[in-house]
Structure 1
Amino acid sequence: MAVLQDTYSTDLAAGYAGMVANGETSNRISRTCEDSGGIGFGVPVYRGSGDHGCTRTPNANFLGITIAHEALGLLSGQTADKYQQYDDVAILTQGVIFVTAGEAVTDGAAAYDTDTAIVDTSTDNTALTGWVFDTTGANAALVKLAKR
Structure 2
Amino acid sequence: MAIQYRDTLQAFQVGRRVNMEEWNTITRTKEGSGQLGFGVPAIAGTGAHSCAALTAAAQNVLGITEASLCLPRPGDNYEQYDNVGICEVGVIGVLLGANVTKGAQARFDVINKVWTGANASSTVLTIPGAQFEESGSAGEVGAVRYRRPIPSLSAGA
**TM-score (norm: length of structure 2):** 0.80
Is 1:107 equivalent to 2:106 in the alignment? no
Is 1:136 equivalent to 2:135 in the alignment? yes
Query: What amino acid maps onto 1:64 in structure 2?
Result: G
Query: What amino acid maps onto 2:86 in structure 1?
Result: I
User: What percent identity do the matched residue pairs reach?
Assistant: 36
Q: Please identify runs of 4+ aligned residues in structure 1 that moved more than 4 A.
A: none
Shift of 1:52: 1.3
Name which of structure 1's ranges 25-34 and 122-131 shifts more when overlaid on structure 2.
Answer: 122-131
Between the aligned partners of 1:118 and 1:96, the Cα distance in structure 2 is 14
2:85 — aligned with what?
Answer: 90
Unpaired runs of 5+ residues, structure 1, are: 1-7
Aligned length: 137
Query: What amino acid maps onto 1:25 in structure 2?
Result: E
Is 1:11 equivalent to 2:12 in the alignment? no
Superposition CA RMSD, Å: 1.7
Shift of 1:102: 1.4
Query: What amino acid maps onto 1:41 in structure 2?
Result: F
Indicate which of 42, 51, 55 corresponds to 1:45: 42
Between the aligned partners of 2:17 and 2:49, the Cα distance in structure 1 is 22
1:3 — aligned with what?
Answer: none
Name which of structure 1's ranges 43-52 and 8-17 shifts more when overlaid on structure 2.
Answer: 8-17
Between the aligned partners of 1:27 and 1:14, the Cα distance in structure 2 is 20
Give CA-to-partner distance per residue, 1:89-148, whole Å, 9 cap, x none. 000001001111111111101111121221112321221111100011110111111025
**TM-score (norm: length of structure 1):** 0.85
Between the aligned partners of 1:69 and 1:98, the Cα distance in structure 2 is 13
Query: What amino acid maps onto 2:144 in structure 1?
Result: L
Name which of structure 1's ranges 23-32 and 8-17 shifts more when overlaid on structure 2.
Answer: 8-17
Query: What amino acid maps onto 2:140 in structure 1?
Result: A
Structure of greater Rg: 1
